[in-house]
Copies of this chain bind each other. A is one copy, B any other.
């Protein structure tokens, strides 16, 4: 994935996607950037505990499950 350039949001950030499933424990965060004038696709960028940033494909099932799991896990914990 190319380094995040200065013009952070003046264009799409992701040129290609990581296809391998990322183990939860190596994830520091997942950032979702909605599509807009700067980029016609929603982008999902995972930041690993190593500090590395990788692009995930938002329309792939395991990526969507990952995001849903992260959100649901919190809700269950507080319920």
Chain B residues, CB < 8 A from A68: 68, 71
State the main secondary structure of chain A at its contact with B.
mixed
Say whether B29 contacts A31, CB under 8 Å: yes
Say whether A24 contacts B34, CB under 8 Å: yes
Copies of this chain: 2
Q: Tell me whether A59 is interfacial, beta carbon within 8 Å.
A: yes
Q: How many residues of A contact B (CB 8 A)?
A: 28
Tell me which residues from 1 to 55 in chain A have a Cβ below 8 Å from any Cβ of chain B: 9, 24, 27-35, 41-42, 44
CA distance A30 to B43 in the complex (A): 11
Not counting A29-B33, A32-B32, a sample of 5 additional A-B residue pairs whose C-beta atoms are within 8 angstroms of each other reads A35-B74, A35-B77, A42-B71, A42-B77, A58-B71
